[in-house]
Amino acid sequence: MQSRKAARLSRRTVVIGVGAGLIAAPPAPRASHEKGSAMLQDPTQKYPKPPFKHQSQPWPGLAREMDPKPDHGETSYKGSYRLRGRKALITGGDSGMGRAAAIAFAREGASVAIHYHPDEAPDALDVADLLKAEGHTIVLLPGDIRAESFCKRLVEDAVAKLGGLDILVSNAARQQTHDSILEITTDQFDWTMRTNIYAPFWIIQAALPHLKPGSAIISTASEQAYDPSPNLYDYAQTKAATMNYTKSLAKQLAPKGIRVNAVAPGPIWTPLQVSGGATQEKIEHFGEQTPMGRPGQPAELASIYVQLAAEDASYATGQVYGSAGGDGQP
């Protein structure tokens, strides 16, 4: 009896001892956790801060000629095939947020058609060469979106060359700085309206018959929609309209299973600024007023475009996602 009882106690002691050891001994940190911690970066120090040197380019400007050159995610964005099999058309995909979205979409597994103005060909070829070398399907579609006929042909060409369409990113825009409304000619005003308002209208109209349930439309708005600068009279109102049509169209298309959202950047370092979109003084201090003390880089918005296009954002529609370094709305 005593020996069997002692054996039971012995087994119980062992079990309790092991259990206590498991509770008391903290688990060893996982390698992936350690690696993730080591990769943390202070966002205020991640990219160049002003002052920047004065620089000017003829419209529409080239990213390759800027100093410092913008980061579109060329070396930093790593995809995980969240958009595998998807087919995307991006207007203004040669530089800025459009280029960042093109790189991210391609590395997430999407086939991408990049629209650009013919004068932006050097930038467009740079990004196409980069992505084609990695084995991605990239289609280049140059043209002037101020013409309704081209906008319709743009969509048809994208559908034909991609084999369909289920993501539309309306990103191309014109921005020119003017100290006074009296400086803006009717032709200049019309140019901005046709690029920023008419073109998305024509392109979305042409794209809708091809978009099936699950498709996504993403527009590029701006903090100017909420807090307009006095020297961007025409540009700012087009971005307010972009925000508005995003919300209106989202309600119209939700029953059809098509989501519509927008991204609203703050000060982002793109050719838009150095080709007439900002004064030399503003370029020198660009982004300095934000709580982060610097402008954003296009690469910092790439994941937002991916999220809005991805299937796991299926309940997000009519939303405006801000990215302004601590300033602006929403």
Contacts of residue 42, defined as CB under 8 A and 6 or more positions apart, other chains included, come to none
Out of 235, 245, 305, 321, pick the active-site residue.
Answer: 235
pLDDT at 194 over 60: yes
Rounded to 5°, angle at Cα 251 from 248 and 255: 150
CA distance 136 to 165: 16
CA distance 169 to 305: 9
Mean pLDDT across 74-91: 97
**pLDDT tens for each residue of 8-34:** 444 444 333 333 333 333 334 343 344
Mean pLDDT across 265-287: 97
Per-chain mean pLDDT for the chain: 91
Question: Token pair 């978009």 is at which residue?
Answer: 211
What crossing angle do the helices spanning 148-162 and 199-207 adopt, rounded to 10°? 40
pLDDT value at residue 82: 98
Cis before 291? omega within 30: no
Residue 250 near residue 258, CB atoms below 8 Å: no
Q: Where are the beta strands (DSSP E) in 147-268?
A: 167-170, 216-220, 259-265
pLDDT at 146 over 50: yes
pLDDT at 1 over 80: no
Over its C-alpha atoms, the chain yields an Rg (Å, rounded) of 25
Mean pLDDT across 148-174: 98
CA distance 176 to 168: 25
Residue 225 near residue 239, CB atoms below 8 Å: yes
**pLDDT tens for each residue of 157-167:** 999 999 999 99
**pLDDT tens for each residue of 47-69:** 999 999 999 999 999 999 999 99
Structure letter (DSSP) for residue 141: E
User: Domains along the chain?
Assistant: 75-323 (3.40.50.720)
- pTM > 0.95: yes or no: no
Known catalytic membership, residue 226: no
